[in-house]
Structure 1
């Protein structure tokens, strides 16, 4: 059992703590061992998971369009494509600390990343591309669309895109990152389990790592709240039901 625990830890690049190791082991071996057992065994072999860092705050611009906080921290959904959350995060690469930006949309039922886009500028084009990719993937989806009050989401152009797709807009309150908790949580996972563990000399290397991690997150990384299934598998089961 210690060998299997060590293998799971290594397979996920040291990012799994005892809880996720327990979920992975139990799923693979069809067991229901208590997490406390894995806590003890992980300490015996000296396995420690990486710790997430706090995300810095960013200044917001004057909005053209605002919307009520309809979601109001109701982060559960009854079906896939009922509620989508979105956000943009900053990353750096190269010896001069050049900036790159990742935009993503997350489904609140399946917890999968519906779409994402990476660019060197935090602009409307980045957010619009992310949105367009999501619509291409699920053209019949009309979710409640939730974001913070970043300038891209409060632009008239973005509001028009939402209206065209029949989506209702919802926005967090000013300065309340917790209002977009699921997206903040995903950024924490991505940065803790991939970004902070590596140095990226080029933009291309960073893009490749992000693409690989999001595929891993959607298709391999089990979530306890999803019956210990990866998001893509969980979504597929819901869609087939």
Structure 2
């Protein structure tokens, strides 16, 4: 925001009369205290506004237009004022809303940010409302609305508890909605309301800030690859008809790595067998397959689908498949969508179990034990919309099959 010479001169007169810079800013109802201080210092030194920053290299143009269309690009004092205000607003947005930008802010959120900044006394209400593009009447309305008792307060407490305790800070709004309905005293809340509460309370699943590490088990073409029998159709009407397998990596802060080999049944998405160790070798993959085959009933001969990792091309793996009547199926080389359902499971595991947690000081043995606990809960406790709100164990039990 720019000010006329008359405003600057008036500020100087008020300063000489004994008023403080804060009192002058309030009297003029526009400039900030810091702006008044700079003006009066400049005038007292016999200079002009902005001389002290005349040599600063401020950006004037972005693309085809000025950074701030309402500010003279040569008025560097005004540019600094706007940059300071913008920085303060962004900090307030981060503190109050746990957000990183001004995009899509509601009037309620803008009001919360303004009220966070006003006590500092650096900016007038007019400056803040103009910057955040909210009218004075809308601001006043939102302040009254915020002051009213929060009718969602009891639900907020429940949502926070379910998210942090039942969901371990890793589950999204669908889990929270479903868990609320399963409480001893069921609470029926719409997804829209729960999502709004989670956003306002800053309840963001920790995996949203995590990063995945890629792991490749490809080791050339030691044996001929079998055909792709699945062709990205991961549906199965029967248990133990179509299995998927893969290996994923976890790198602990100590630098040691843990590898998980898992086999998943496409019938109910359950993990039928898993092994973990510090080496992604053939023994890890083979022992997982042997554990899975030990669960087969007479006559069950599933298709076992994998990527082209070396573990699934060695004689040991092939021998176990042939000995148990399994039909081997493989993805195309370097084509992860061909095993997307297994990739998706590992993505879910890392979102809910791995990302966002501090694993400092964890040994591989302790980590593997914790990992096994999560897989067990996944099979018996984690409900899925794809299974009609049931767990894999419940889905299989509904058909009279052992979990």
TM over 0.5: yes
SS for the counterpart of 2:399 is: helix
- Say whether the 8 Å CA contact 2:215–2:249 is kept in structure 1: no
Is 2:375 aligned against 1:214? yes
Instruction: Name the CA distance, whole Å, in 2 between partners of 1:178 and 1:49.
Output: 25
Offset at residue 138 of structure 1 (A):
2.5
Residue correspondences, number: 240
- Say whether the 8 Å CA contact 1:92–1:98 is kept in structure 2: yes
Alignment of 1:1-241 (within 5 A): 1-10=155-164, 11-28=166-183, 33-50=189-206, 51=208, 53-58=211-216, 60-63=218-221, 64-93=223-252, 95=254, 97-140=255-298, 141-196=300-355, 197-199=357-359, 200-240=361-401
- Spell out, residue by residue over 1:147-170, the C-alpha distance to the aligned partner (whole angstroms, 9 max, x if none): 001011112321221121111111
Gap regions ≥5 residues in structure 2? 1-154
Instruction: Name the CA distance, whole Å, in 2 between partners of 1:25 and 1:225.
Output: 19
- Spell out, residue by residue over 1:78-118, the C-alpha distance to the aligned partner (whole angstroms, 9 max, x if none): 111111000011112352x1122110000111111101001
SS for the counterpart of 1:238 is: coil
Q: TM-score, normalization: structure 2?
A: 0.56
Instruction: Name the CA distance, whole Å, in 1 between partners of 2:238 and 2:319.
Output: 25
Which has the larger displacement, 30-39 or 109-118? 30-39
Instruction: Name the CA distance, whole Å, in 1 between partners of 2:306 and 2:180.
Output: 36
Structure with the higher fraction of residues in helix conformation: 2
- Say whether the 8 Å CA contact 2:217–2:311 is kept in structure 1: no
Root-mean-square deviation (CA, aligned residues, Å) is 2.1
Offset at residue 240 of structure 1 (A):
4.8
- Say whether the 8 Å CA contact 1:27–1:228 is kept in structure 2: no
Distance 1:59 1:127, change over 3 A: closer
- Spell out, residue by residue over 1:107-146, the C-alpha distance to the aligned partner (whole angstroms, 9 max, x if none): 1111111010011111111011101111112243311110
SS for the counterpart of 1:84 is: strand
- Say whether the 8 Å CA contact 1:222–1:228 is kept in structure 2: yes
- Say whether the 8 Å CA contact 1:73–1:179 is kept in structure 2: yes
Instruction: Name the CA distance, whole Å, in 2 between partners of 1:150 and 1:47.
Output: 38
- Say whether the 8 Å CA contact 1:117–1:129 is kept in structure 2: yes
Tell me: higher relative CO, structure 1 or 2? Use CA pairs within 8 A at least 6 residues apart.
1
SS for the counterpart of 1:228 is: coil
Gap regions ≥5 residues in structure 1? none
Offset at residue 54 of structure 1 (A):
4.1
- Say whether the 8 Å CA contact 2:263–2:273 is kept in structure 1: yes
SS for the counterpart of 2:398 is: helix
Runs of 4+ aligned residues of structure 1 deviating over 3 Å after TM superposition are 26-34, 52-55
